[in-house]
Amino acid sequence: MLTNIFLVILIVGAILLDFRTNLYLKVTKEAKAVINYKRELKPFVLVFIALMIFAIFKSQDDVFTQTLAFIVMLLVIKISYLNPHRIVVNENSVATKYGVIPNEAIADFKVDEKNQLVIQIQGMPRAFKFKPKGQKDFDTILYCAEKLNLGNAKEVIQRHRLAQIASQARGVFLLHGVTKDYDWGGKEYLAQEYGLEKQQIAEVWYGTHPSGQASIVIPGAQLEYLTSRFYAQNPNQDPIEVDAHQDYNVLLNYNIAYGQPLVQGQDEQVRNEGLPFLFKILDVARPLSIQIHPDKQTAEQGYAQEDKLGINLKSANRTFKDKNHKPEFGMALTPMYLLHGFDSKENVLAKLEGKPALAQLKEFIASRELGQAYAELFTKSKAELKELLGEHIQTAVELYDNLIERQLEAADITTFTYDQDGLNVELANQDPDYWVAFTYKSLCMELDNLDVGLISFYIFNLVKLEPFQGIYQGPNIPHAYLRGRLVEVMANSDNVVRGGLTTKHINSELYLRLVDTQAVTPKIYAQGDYDLPSEEFTYKLVELNNNDTYQTDNASIWYFLNAQGTLEFNDQSVHAQSLAIKSNQAVFASVDRKVTYKGEKALVVIASVK
Residue 28 pLDDT? 77
Residue 157 pLDDT? 67
Give 518-540 pLDDT, tens digit per residue: 999 999 999 999 999 999 999 99
Q: In order of start, what are the domains of the chain with their CATH numbers? A: 1-21+32-82 (no CATH), 87-150 (no CATH), 164-177+214-276+536-609 (2.60.120.10), 281-525 (2.60.120)
**With 70 as the cut, is the pLDDT of residue 152 above it?**
no
| Percentage of residues in the chain having pLDDT higher than 70 | 95
Give 149's pLDDT tier (boundaries 50, 70, 90). Answer: low
Lowest mean pLDDT among 44-48, 356-360, 382-386, 544-548: 44-48
HEC states along 165-216? HHCCCCCEEEEECEEECCCCEECCHHHHHCCCCCCCECEEEECCCCCCCCEE
Q: What is the enclosing helix (H) or strand (E) of 361?
A: helix 359-366
Q: What share of the chain is helix, strand, coil (3-state, %, to 5)?
A: 35, 25, 40
Among candidates 542, 560, 559, which has minimal Cα distance to 551?
A: 542
Residue 41 pLDDT? 66
Residue 205 pLDDT? 97
**With 90 as the cut, is the pLDDT of residue 133 above it?**
no
Q: What whole-number distance in Å separates Cα of residue 407 and Cα of residue 391?
A: 23
Q: What whole-number distance in Å separates Cα of residue 457 and Cα of residue 459?
A: 6
pTM strictly above 0.75 = yes
**With 80 as the cut, is the pLDDT of residue 343 above it?**
yes
Among candidates 231, 33, 39, 251, which has minimal Cα distance to 150?
A: 33
Distances (CA, A) of 463 to 27, 29, 294, 402, 527: 64, 69, 22, 24, 16
What average pLDDT score do residues 321-337 get?
A: 95
> Exposed (0-12), middle (13-18) or buried (19+): which is 356, by Cβ within 10 Å?
exposed
Q: What whole-number distance in Å separates Cα of residue 209 and Cα of residue 557?
A: 14
**With 80 as the cut, is the pLDDT of residue 29 above it?**
no
Residue 451 pLDDT? 95
Looking at every residue in the chain, the average pLDDT score rounds to: 89
Give 470's pLDDT tier (boundaries 50, 70, 90). Answer: very high
Give 260's pLDDT tier (boundaries 50, 70, 90). Answer: very high
| Percentage of residues in the chain having pLDDT higher than 90 | 56
**With 70 as the cut, is the pLDDT of residue 459 above it?**
yes
Q: What whole-number distance in Å separates Cα of residue 362 and Cα of residue 368?
A: 10
Give 554's pLDDT tier (boundaries 50, 70, 90). Answer: very high
**With 70 as the cut, is the pLDDT of residue 450 above it?**
yes
Backbone angles phi, psi at 577, to 5 degrees: -135, 160
Buried b (16+ CB within 10 A) or exposed e, 197-221: eeebbbbbbbbbbbbbbbbbebbeb
Cβ pair 281, 254 in contact under 8 A: no
The SS3 of residue 106 is strand
Q: What whole-number distance in Å separates Cα of residue 113 and Cα of residue 159?
A: 11
Residue 86 pLDDT? 84
What average pLDDT score do residues 576-582 get?
A: 95
What average pLDDT score do residues 189-207 get?
A: 91
Distances (CA, A) of 226 to 99, 163, 216, 230: 39, 11, 16, 6
Residue 5 pLDDT? 82
Give 264-278 pLDDT, tens digit per residue: 988 877 878 889 999
Instruction: Say how far residue 135 (Cα) sits from the centre of its chain.
Output: 24
519 Cβ contact partners less than 8 Å away, ≥ 6 residues apart: 341, 342, 343, 344, 345, 370
Residue 14 pLDDT? 80
86 Cβ contact partners less than 8 Å away, ≥ 6 residues apart: 25, 34, 35, 36, 37
Q: What whole-number distance in Å separates Cα of residue 251 and Cα of residue 162?
A: 10
Residue 10 pLDDT? 83
Cβ pair 133, 534 in contact under 8 A: no
Give 351-407 pLDDT, tens digit per residue: 999 999 999 999 999 999 999 999 999 999 999 999 999 999 999 999 999 899 988
